[in-house]
């Protein structure tokens, strides 16, 4: 508590000796407002201008409800899968030495660099019935393309880097004392991992999970080709619905759905920020 009030006093007393405060802050706020905030604000204002009934009808039409269900469910499963594999990948990259490690580390970032549309058509081509991966899976009785599994696969693809990149730096800086203490107290490596290391990594895993989830819920380009976008099979995602409404010039409908999406994104962003702030507070107190 004391340190916080100290900091506050310091902040107010500290004179601004470096020039350029007004002009840089002004330019930042102006550009941010014109390019990002005002356009997004227009969506919000337009949504608020609707009558509550109109808004409600747009948001609760069966197609929209199913799309939200599909997007949230598949993004959640994809984020869980990515959390498990993300922790394994981060662990392997930080703790082990093996040939090709640098290549593996570089490949993790691939989904950030590859355009979503390219990822979309590639995955769709791979997982169709006679595709390279689709054919063997079809023999096992698993249909990937044009199902929820396909959507999940695409979301796993775009979400891989998030968990790895948020867990990796924390794992690198992890104090070896915790592990040593755990071993000395007689724990084996499994319980050390699950009880000591995992709890230390939890904020980072949650951050990565949240980022992957947010990305998955809003995902468009990589999903639409493998999804099939059938209203009957409930394989339409929310972004697809917004795009479809835009193409039919149904602006109130598109805005209402986008408004709900924006709220979901902001809530996720807020939760991620809270996790990160709590984490930095905890580590600073140690």
Alpha helices in the chain (DSSP H): 2-13, 21-32, 38-49, 52-59, 62-95, 101-107, 110-113, 116-127, 134-139, 148-173, 176-184, 189-191, 198-218, 224-227, 238-247, 251-285
CB of 177 to another protein, least distance (A): 19
Kindly indicate which of the ranges 58-66, 120-128, 195-203, 226-234 contains the residues binding another protein, using the contact rule CB under 8 A. Answer: 120-128
Task: Evaluate whether 276 touches 207 at the Cβ level (below 8 Å).
Answer: yes
Could you tell me which residues come within 8 angstroms of residue 185 by beta carbon, excluding any fewer than 6 positions away? none
Task: Evaluate whether 69 touches 260 at the Cβ level (below 8 Å).
Answer: no
Token pair listed for 17:
């000796």
Kindly indicate which of the ranges 58-66, 103-111, 134-142, 173-181 contains the residues binding another protein, using the contact rule CB under 8 A. Answer: 103-111
Query: Which residues, numbered 147-206, are part of the site for another protein (CB under 8 A)?
Result: 156-157, 160, 188-189
Which candidate, 166, 126, 181, places its Cα nearest to that of 276?
Answer: 166
For Cα atoms 38, 40, 41, give the angle at the middle one, nearest 5 degrees.
60
CB of 60 to another protein, least distance (A): 19
Tell me which of 78, 217, 226, 275 binds another protein, using CB under 8 A. 217
Tell me which of 48, 60, 65, 118 binds another protein, using CB under 8 A. 118
CB of 174 to another protein, least distance (A): 17
Sign for the CA dihedral angle at 242, 246, 247, 252 comes to: positive
CB of 195 to another protein, least distance (A): 16
CB of 36 to another protein, least distance (A): 6
Query: Which residues, numbered 11-70, are part of the site for another protein (CB under 8 A)?
Result: 11, 14, 16-21, 24-25, 27-29, 31-32, 35-40, 42-43, 45-46
Residues 174 and 197: their CA atoms lie apart, in Å, by: 8
Q: Which is nearer to another protein, 36 or 231 (CB)?
A: 36
Kindly indicate which of the ranges 60-68, 168-176, 198-206, 242-250 contains the residues binding another protein, using the contact rule CB under 8 A. Answer: 242-250
Per rule CB under 8 A, is residue 263 in the interface with another protein? no
Query: Which residues, numbered 122-141, are part of the site for another protein (CB under 8 A)?
Result: 122-123, 125-126, 132-133
Torsion of the alpha carbons at 72, 273, 261 and 240, rounded to the nearest 10: -60
Kindly indicate which of the ranges 97-105, 140-148, 171-179, 196-204 contains the residues binding another protein, using the contact rule CB under 8 A. Answer: 97-105
- Kindly state the number of chain residues that form the binding site for another protein, as judged by CB under 8 A: 86
Residues 81 and 259: their CA atoms lie apart, in Å, by: 28
Per rule CB under 8 A, is residue 242 in the interface with another protein? yes
């Amino acid at each position: 508590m004391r340190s916080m009030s100290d900091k506050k006093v310091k902040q107010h007393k500290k004179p601004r000796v470096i020039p350029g405060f007004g002009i840089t802050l002004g330019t930042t706020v102006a550009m941010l407002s014109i390019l990002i905030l005002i356009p997004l604000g227009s969506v919000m204002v337009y949504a608020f201008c609707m009558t509550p009934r109109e808004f409600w009808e747009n948001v609760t039409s069966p197609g929209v409800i199913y799309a939200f269900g599909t997007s949230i469910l598949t993004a959640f499963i994809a984020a869980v899968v990515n959390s498990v594999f993300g922790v394994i990948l981060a662990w392997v990259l930080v703790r082990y030495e093996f040939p090709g490690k640098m290549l593996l580390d570089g490949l993790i970032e691939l989904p950030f660099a590859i355009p979503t549309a390219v990822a979309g058509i590639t995955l769709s081509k791979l997982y169709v019935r006679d595709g390279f991966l689709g054919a063997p899976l079809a023999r096992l009785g698993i249909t990937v393309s044009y199902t929820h599994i396909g959507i999940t696969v695409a979301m796993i693809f775009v979400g891989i880097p998030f968990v790895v990149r948020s867990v990796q730096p924390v794992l690198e800086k992890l104090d070896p004392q915790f592990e040593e203490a755990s071993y000395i107290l007689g724990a084996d490596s499994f319980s050390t991992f699950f009880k000591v290391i995992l709890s230390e990594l939890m904020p980072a895993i949650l951050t990565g999970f949240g980022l992957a989830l947010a990305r998955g819920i809003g995902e468009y380009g990589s999903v639409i080709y493998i999804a099939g976008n059938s209203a009957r099979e409930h394989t339409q995602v929310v972004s697809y619905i917004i795009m479809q409404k835009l193409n039919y010039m149904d602006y109130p409908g598109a805005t209402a759905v986008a408004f709900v999406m924006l709220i979901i994104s902001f809530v996720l962003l807020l939760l991620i920020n809270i996790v990160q702030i709590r984490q930095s507070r905890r580590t600073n107190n140690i």
